[in-house]
A and B are shown apart, each in its own frame.
Chain A
Amino acid sequence: MSTNGKPKFAMYWAAACGGCEIAVLNIHEKILDVDANFEVVFWPVAMDAKYKDVEAMEDGSILLTLFNGAIRNDENEYMAKLMRQKSKILVAFGSCANEGCMPALANLYNINEIIDTAFTTPTTDNPQNIRPNTSYSVPEGELHIPTLFPAVRTLDQVVPVDYYMPGCPPESHQIAAVIDLVIQVLQGKAELPPAGSVIGAGGSTVCDDCPRTRNEKKIKKFERIQNIMIDPDLCILEQGVLCSGPATRSGCTALCPKAGSPCIGCYGPAEGAEDYGSRLMTAVASVIDSNDPAEIERIFEGIPDPVGQFYRFNLAGSLLRFSKSAWKG
């Protein structure tokens, strides 16, 4: 591979949907700045390069790696370790790498349940009831596919991470700002934030960016958003629709509440919140307008899937990380 003396840039996806890559491309003409300032050495979605090319690189020779995706299988883990070894700055990019995101909701189930769901549900045409094997012999040799772990992990549960950039996906204006910053650092015009910082996000909550009017919240019943007409100016949580704004880090400019949809928490825990779901449970419990245990139970029946609601993006990054059935079978 030719080298032009520019600092090297890489981006990798582990257990992810590809939205993070789209978000990077969504910075539009700024992508030309990336090309002008960096040599892109590895980016499976955008260019052809093999793992063995990365393996052949010198340790620490990639300046910046944006790693998106959670660690679901041993291939993800291998690549996380490899990218860590080859990169100076490793950024956990996007919700999956930061806190598990959607893939981590599988942490509520054990592997057999997951495989059964994928291979035996009525929508799957699998009359012979075939299951994937991690290795298979063919005349040409042995084939391997990655082995699933019992649970999804975040990137920093596998390797040390330098910076955290939350969001599902990170907003393009935040990505552009971070890229600008890195370029300025390269030119000696700025300094990198302290290691371990959350970058490309705010230090407050989504509520702080939300333009809706807030009064004292008193909830007697949780509503599904499709069943009511949302008042365009009033706090969504006040209207009985569970909004994750109070627990979620700012940075997205409150896009969803502005569009009339509740925050679902993709920017992860607000500054200082150790467990996202706890912060949200605390907030929700505070606004229930009842002191009667039976009535409180009844109101909470409006949240039929509490883990899915409170840990939608954060199960792998939560204190408990997975359900008992994930590790006990």
Chain B
Amino acid sequence: MSDQFEPVIIGFTCNWCSYRAADMAGTARMKYAPNIRLIRLMCSGRLDPTFVLKAFAGGADGVMITGCHPGDCHYVEQNYKALRRFIILKKTLTQFGIEPGRLKLLWASAAEGAIFTDEVNKFVEQVRELGPLQWPTSGGGLERMFAVPEHMLVKEVTA
């Protein structure tokens, strides 16, 4: 065991392309970093930004959104919606102080197992470089944030 930082990455895959890409990587015995936890959606268009925020608020260090290549969506054009959500989400997260490098969008077809593994590995290294996020809503950070020293507590204030 090395003591380097191991980021927790949540990856969203679509049923028809990117999940198949991950599947292909698996059946072809291609290796990729175990830091990513994949969650399969039917379509990248199902990706509610809530999922991404919940991942970060729950302790993830990075989130990867994947889907079919533009024009290949099995639900016609829902991956374009995912693209637009990704762009506005990234802008919003930046304002929250979450580095844009912690969010990635990847198009991968069912035949692109090798691309999928490459990109996952690259993303894991990129997030490792950024370091832990440790949003205080996970892991007891809130208690520390709102703990007021006893001597500072207001016992009685006139209204």
B159 and A49 contacting across the interface, CB-CB below 8 Å: yes
Question: In the complex, how many angstroms separate the beta carbon of B47 from the nearest chain A beta carbon?
Answer: 9
Question: Once bound together, how far apart are the Cα atoms of A78 and B113, in whole Å?
Answer: 56
A108 touches which one: B57, B81, B95, B148 (CB < 8 A)?
B95
What are 28 contact pairs spanning A and B, CB under 8 A? Answer: A49-B159, A50-B158, A51-B156, A51-B158, A51-B159, A52-B156, A78-B154, A78-B155, A149-B145, A151-B145, A277-B53, A277-B92, A278-B53, A281-B49, A282-B85, A285-B81, A291-B70, A291-B77, A291-B83, A296-B83, A300-B91, A306-B88, A306-B92, A307-B92, A310-B92, A319-B137, A320-B96, A325-B97
Chain A residues 271 to 329 lying within 8 A of chain B, measured CB to CB, are 273-275, 277-279, 281-282, 284-286, 288, 290-291, 293, 296-297, 300, 303, 305-307, 310, 318-321, 323-325, 327-328
A319 and B146 contacting across the interface, CB-CB below 8 Å: no
Chain A residues 62 to 99 lying within 8 A of chain B, measured CB to CB, are 74-75, 77-78
Question: Once bound together, how far apart are the Cα atoms of A320 and B97, in whole Å?
Answer: 11
Question: Once bound together, how far apart are the Cα atoms of A83 and B85, in whole Å?
Answer: 41
Question: Once bound together, how far apart are the Cα atoms of A153 and B148, in whole Å?
Answer: 14
- Chain A residue contacts of B96, Cβ below 8 A: 108, 307, 320, 323-324
B154 and A75 contacting across the interface, CB-CB below 8 Å: yes
- Chain A residue contacts of B156, Cβ below 8 A: 51-52, 55
B88 and A144 contacting across the interface, CB-CB below 8 Å: no
Interface assignment of A146: CB less than 8 Å from any CB of chain B: yes
B159 and A50 contacting across the interface, CB-CB below 8 Å: yes
A286 and B81 contacting across the interface, CB-CB below 8 Å: yes
Knowing A74-B154, A108-B95, A327-B145, say if A320 contacts B53 (CB, 8 Å).
yes
Knowing A51-B156, A291-B77, say if A327 contacts B49 (CB, 8 Å).
no
- Chain B residue contacts of A303, Cβ below 8 A: 88, 91
Which partner residue on chain A sits nearest B56 by CB separation?
A: A320
Question: Once bound together, how far apart are the Cα atoms of A135 and B154, in whole Å?
Answer: 11
Interface assignment of A44: CB less than 8 Å from any CB of chain B: yes
Interface assignment of B32: CB less than 8 Å from any CB of chain A: no
Q: Which of A274, A281, A297, A303 has the most CB of B within 10 A?
A: A281
Chain A positions 101 through 124: 1 when the CB is less than 8 Å from some CB of chain B, otherwise 0: 000000010000000000000000
A296 touches which one: B49, B84, B141, B146 (CB < 8 A)?
B84
A288 and B97 contacting across the interface, CB-CB below 8 Å: no
Q: Which of B84, B85, B157 has the most CB of A within 10 A?
A: B84
Which partner residue on chain A sits nearest B93 by CB separation?
A: A320
Interface assignment of B89: CB less than 8 Å from any CB of chain A: yes
Knowing A51-B158, A319-B137, say if A293 contacts B83 (CB, 8 Å).
yes
How many residues of chain A have a CB within 8 Å of chain B? Answer: 53
Chain B positions 65 through 91: 1 when the CB is less than 8 Å from some CB of chain A, otherwise 0: 000001000000100110111011101
Chain B positions 41 through 74: 1 when the CB is less than 8 Å from some CB of chain A, otherwise 0: 0000000111001101100000000000010000
Which partner residue on chain B sits nearest A321 by CB separation?
A: B137
Interface assignment of A147: CB less than 8 Å from any CB of chain B: yes
A285 touches which one: B54, B88, B154 (CB < 8 A)?
B88
Q: Which of A50, A75, A290, A327 has the most CB of B within 10 A?
A: A327
B95 and A305 contacting across the interface, CB-CB below 8 Å: yes
Interface assignment of A245: CB less than 8 Å from any CB of chain B: no
Chain B residues 120 to 159 lying within 8 A of chain A, measured CB to CB, are 135-137, 141, 145-146, 148, 152-159
- Chain B residue contacts of A275, Cβ below 8 A: 49-50, 53-54
Interface assignment of B98: CB less than 8 Å from any CB of chain A: yes
